[in-house]
Amino acid sequence: MKEKGSISIHTENIFPIIKKFLYSDHEIFLRELVSNAVDATQKLKKLTALGQYNGEPGDLTVEVSFDKDKKTITVSDKGIGMTGEEIKKYINQIAFSGAAEFLEKFKDKADTNDIIGKFGLGFYSAFMVSEKVDVISKSYTTEGDEAAHWTCDGSTEFELTSTTKKTRGTDVVLHINKDSEEFLDEFRIKGILEKYCKFLPVEIKFGTKEESVEDGTDKDGKPKYKTVKSDRIINNPSPLWTKSPSDLKDEDYLNFYKELYPFSEPPLFWIHLNVDYPFNLTGVLYFPKVKNDFELNKNKIQLYSRQVFITDEVKNVVPDFLMLLHGVLDSPDIPLNVSRSYLQSDANVKKISQHITKKVADKLQDMFKKDREAFEKKWDDINIFVKYGMISEEKFHERAKDFVLLKNTESKYFTLEEYKEKVKSNQTDKDKNTIYLYTTDSQRQDSFIQAAKNRSYDVLLMEGVLDSHFIGNLEQKLEQTQIKRVDSETIDKLIPADTKMEQVLSEDEQKNVKSIFEKAINNTNMTVTVESLAPDDFPVTITMSEWMRRMKDMAKTGGGYGFYGSMPDQYGVAINGNHALIQKILKGDTEENQTKLAKQVYDLALLSQNMLSGADLTSFIRRSVELVG
């Protein structure tokens, strides 16, 4: 047999299109060719199981090899192979797909979902890196050693001849072009195989490896070792997500996590997905213990299609608030473009995203109900996922409102309902609004926290990166509830009661105190007021209004409030008219001494909030020495 002809395609320029536009990354060629080899092997397994191949399948390992001197890369399988006619049909006629016909033929049989397909077009990715491609194939239906040899130099011309091949299956030999010699490197090929083929369902061999094994004992009875060579199998054909959760132990999930992310800390917990209706989806999602941003960026969710790696860019498939999770998803129902490089959005993708959201919510709720104490121990690590979900997705908010936790400065945890019951009797203002107090920095705001505790008020810890958004979201959802930072006003203004503490200063004295402090401060961004606070509260308290602070926080996080980010900080300076030091300032013998002491007390208030630095701090220290002396 010898035949020459032209490949049946619609344009003479198909190969430049493949090289430049169809595949975004040239290394994809190896994924496509190995996937085709696995596909052919899976078909043989299927035919054997159906009793339509009576031979001995034998070793079905797919092998990838290269020859640097000859500048070739070869992908070999022992699958169903092809006759010359089949090569002309499946390779020459690019519109046909071997897998499509195979599925049609066996559509009434069970378990045909494991056929990867895409041979026709995927095969042509070989020409991105090759100046010539040879295909030597022997079909499982062929008697003797007769085989077919197809060769093409990247033009639309091909040559098909008879040859001999002892074993069933297909060898695809790539003659690497000058521009692609980077792929003739052991570590480069190994890296590509481990990236794209790590979990293909048939063993992939690439070269050999050396390992040390026991070889008897020496004269002292100690074990001896020898070095032996064995096949290097680069993949795990039966990854954890393909197994039934009932057959797995915690140790299996932890070991698989190490396989995915060798240098990461163990995860907090995981969710095993196994859906077959209305779409197919399997996978395992892990909640990581995140230490830093590097970990977030390095470890991503990996997307597979029937165990072939597609991408780790899973936007739309996974809702935004769960993008920080780790693990794998595998679905043949996620639409890809023809090169399998990019996700395409459709109804299935939306359904999958919604299902993942539901499964995560169900898992969290189940954990909360089954073991609240264990859930609380994990809360500091997982609250970022829950809060982000509640902010961004209404359906998740409805599910999460029963298990989201609020943590106070005593490190105690409360559900939303529990916390409302805890504080409503003591933290309700004259307008019947329940006031939640919170801190974003318990160290820096400690004096305000202590003032609140002195009045038996509770203070929540809201120190996370999302908490400024979460607070606003909570306020919208909770009826007759206001949430205020503990340093946004003096404590008696934060939770105004029906009765106020009596002011010991007369109106004239209050005006005088205000005038002294305004002169001492000399800053138009500081608004001075005189208030009736407890005698043991601080003489001066510096605050920023809750509204202004939130606008500035939103501006920092890109919330569309940039105008407020450029505004100068505006503070309130509350003078405690009932404090003994204020009385002392009023009784100062000279105006200079009154101003000096007022400035000292004001600087103390600044210092308590880390707002005193540079020349102002130096002046404060010198003044302190002078006053003490």
In a domain, residue 272? The reply is yes
Contacts of residue 432, defined as CB under 8 A and 6 or more positions apart, other chains included, come to 480
Indicate the SS3 state at residue 154: coil
In terms of pLDDT, which residue wins out, 14 or 166? 166
What residue type is assigned to position 185 of the chain? D
In a domain, residue 376? The reply is no
In a domain, residue 147? The reply is yes
Determine contact, residues 575/539, Cβ cutoff 8 Å: yes
Question: How many Cβ atoms sit within 10 Å of the Cβ of residue 428?
Answer: 16
Residue at a domain's end among 184, 206, 228: 206
pLDDT confidence bin for 116, thresholds 50/70/90? very low
pLDDT confidence bin for 561, thresholds 50/70/90? low
pLDDT of res. 334: 76
Query: How many structural domains are present in the chain?
Result: 4
CATH of the domain at 300: 3.30.230.80
In a domain, residue 396? The reply is no
pLDDT digits (tens, 9 = 90+) for 279-289: 889 999 999 88
Same domain, 266 and 150: no
Indicate the SS3 state at residue 447: helix
571-576 vs 526-531, strand pairing mode? parallel
Residue at a domain's end among 159, 181, 206: 206
Same domain, 60 and 98: yes
Same domain, 180 and 266: no
pLDDT digits (tens, 9 = 90+) for 298-345: 568 999 988 988 888 888 788 888 888 999 999 888 766 545 555 656
Same domain, 54 and 195: yes
Comparing CA positions, the residue from 307, 318, 352, 319 lying closest to residue 334 is: 352
pLDDT at 610 over 50: yes
Same domain, 338 and 467: no
Domain with 354, as residue range(s), is 240-370
Same domain, 336 and 459: no
pLDDT at 291 over 90: no
CATH of the domain at 193: 3.30.565.10
Please, what's the b/e burial string for 527-539 (b: 16 or more CB within 10 A of its CB; e: otherwise)?
A: ebebbbbeeebbb
Contacts of residue 127, defined as CB under 8 A and 6 or more positions apart, other chains included, come to 15, 18, 19, 133, 152, 154
Same domain, 258 and 351: yes
Same domain, 11 and 45: yes
Same domain, 512 and 479: no
In a domain, residue 562? The reply is no
In terms of pLDDT, which residue wins out, 227 or 103? 227
Determine contact, residues 325/271, Cβ cutoff 8 Å: no
Judged on CB neighbours under 10 Å (0-12, 13-18, 19+), 588 is: middle
pLDDT confidence bin for 12, thresholds 50/70/90? very low
Indicate the SS3 state at residue 423: helix
Residue at a domain's end among 325, 349, 370: 370
Separation CA 46–CA 111 (nearest Å): 9
Determine contact, residues 147/163, Cβ cutoff 8 Å: yes
CATH of the domain at 601: 1.20.120.790
What residue type is assigned to position 629 of the chain? G
Which whole number is the average pLDDT over 216-232? 85
Lowest mean pLDDT among 267-276, 298-307, 594-603: 298-307
Same domain, 78 and 193: yes
Separation CA 551–CA 549 (nearest Å): 5
In a domain, residue 216? The reply is no
Separation CA 327–CA 259 (nearest Å): 10
> Where is 42: in which H helix or E strand?
helix 28-49
Same domain, 151 and 98: yes
Separation CA 481–CA 474 (nearest Å): 9
571-576 vs 169-176, strand pairing mode? unpaired
CATH of the domain at 464: 3.40.50.11260
Location of structure tokens 């209305």: 278
Give the orientation angle of helix 614-628 with respect to helix 591-608, to 10 degrees: 120
In a domain, residue 345? The reply is yes
Same domain, 456 and 351: no
pLDDT confidence bin for 546, thresholds 50/70/90? confident
pLDDT digits (tens, 9 = 90+) for 436-492: 999 999 998 998 999 899 889 999 999 988 888 899 899 999 999 999 999 888 888
pLDDT at 391 over 70: yes
In a domain, residue 394? The reply is no
